[in-house]
Structure 1
C-alpha cells in the first residue's frame, strides 16, 4: 500500500512539474511574439524567473526548448539573448511565411467550420474598433491580430502546419510587434484591416485564392513598412 501511495504521489509531482514547465514556455512564447523583447536583447534566468514568479528550473527548461526552436540564443556566460534580425533574414522568413501561412488559409477556406469562421469575424470586428480609436491600445491590437491569424490558420485542420507557423512567429514577433510599439505608420494607415477583410471574405466564400490574396497583402504591407524603417541592419 505504501509503495502504491509513493508511486501515485510521484506521478502527481511529475504532472504538476510538466504543467508548470508548459505554462512557463507558453508565457515566454507570448512575451517574445508580442514584441516585449527586442532583437539582440540579453536576458537572464533570474530576470525571467522573477518576472514570471517561478523558480529557475522550469524557466531553464523552457529556454532550452525555445533555443532549439531558434527563438532564443544561449550565450557562454549563462545568459541568453533574442536573436539578432537582419533585413536579409527578415526577407527570408517573409518568403517562408507567405508559403506556409498562405497554405494554411487556402485550406481554411475549404475546411473552416461555422464556429471558426465566426471567431475570425469577431476578432476582425474587434480589431477594427480598436485600431480606429483616437488612442488605440497597442497591446490589444497585437493580441487581436495574432488571435485572428491563428483562428484562420487553425481552420485549416492542419495542426502540424499551425505549429510550424507558430515557430516562425517566435522569430519575427520581436520585429513586427516592436515596430507597432514604436508608433509605426501601420497604426495610422491600418492596412491590415483592408487585407484582413479580404481574407475573411475569402473564408466566407470558400475561395482559397481570395483568402491567400488577403494574407499575402497583409504580410507584404507590414514588411514594406518595417523594411523601409531603420530598425533592421543590412
Structure 2
C-alpha cells in the first residue's frame, strides 16, 4: 500500500516538474490548450497523476481550467506582465549583483558557453533561443546562492515563460543576436568584478520585455477601436 502510494506521488511530481519546466522554457504559447487525456497519453500513464500535477499548476496560476478535462496556458494582461517584470527586475538584479562580486573564471566560462548557444539559436529557432535564455538567467540565480530569491523567480518564470517564447518569435533577430546584447554586458561586468554593472545589465535585459508588452497593448487598443 505504502509503496504504491509513493510511486503514484512520484509520478505526479515528475509530471508536475516536467510541465512546469516546459512552461518556463516557452514550449507552450499563451492561450494554448492542453487536455488531461493528451498529457496522460504523452507520459503513458493514467489521468490521475496528470490531473494532480495540473491542479498544482492551476493553484499557482500557471494553467487555467477551461473544462473538467482541459486547461489552457493563461494570457497574461499587460498589467500582470509588468508586475512580473518588476519582480524579476528587482530580484534577478540583486542576484546578478551578487554573481558580479563572486564569479570565478569557470563561472564566467559557463555564462559564455550558454550565451553562445543563445545567440546562435536566436538567429534560427525562437523555441531553442527561449530555452537557452532561461538557462542563462537560471545560472545567475544558481550561482548567486540565494535560494529564496531563486524560488520566487522560478514561479515568475513559470508564468512568464510562454510570453517570452512570443518575445523571441516577434523581436527582430538582429537585436536578439547582436554582439551588444545585454548578456554580453553582464559577462563583461563579471570579468571586471563589477556587481553594480552586472545588476544594471541584467535589469536592462529584463526590462526589454516591456517593448513587446507595449506593442501587444497597442494592438489590443487598435482591435477595440
Place the TM-score, normalised by the shorter chain, in its bin: 0.7 to 0.9
Q: CA RMSD in A?
A: 2.5
Q: CA deviation at 1:128?
A: 2.6
Q: Mapping of 1:148-167 within 5 angstroms?
A: 148-167=136-155
Look up the match of 1:58: 49
Is 1:206 the equivalent of 2:193? yes
Instruction: Tell me the CA shift for residue 164 of structure 1.
Output: 0.9
Contact 1:90 1:172 in 2 (8 A): yes
Contact 1:31-1:37 within 8 A present in 2 as well: yes
Q: Is this contact kept in 2: 1:192–1:218, CA < 8 A?
A: no
Pair 1:46-2:74 in alignment: no
Equivalent pairs, count: 220
- 1:137-192 deviations in whole A, cap 9, x for unaligned? 223212111111111111110122111101001111111212323xx134232277
> For residues 66 and 158 of structure 1, what CA distance do their matches in structure 2 show?
24
With structure 2 as the length reference, what TM-score do the two structures score?
0.84
Tell me the TM-score normalized by structure 1.
0.81
Q: Distance between the aligned counterparts of 2:102 and 2:59, measured in 1?
A: 32
Task: From the CA coordinates, give the structure whose radius of gyration is larger.
Answer: 1
Q: Find the residue that maps to 2:19 and give its secondary structure.
A: helix
Residue 85 of structure 2 is aligned with which of 78, 91, 94?
A: 94
Secondary structure of residue in 2 paired with 1:43:
strand
Q: What residue is the counterpart of 1:177 in the other structure? A: 165
Which 5+ residue runs of structure 1 have no aligned equivalent?
1-9
Instruction: Give the direction of change, closer, same or farther, for the CA distance of 1:77–1:19 in structure 2 (3 Å limit).
Output: closer
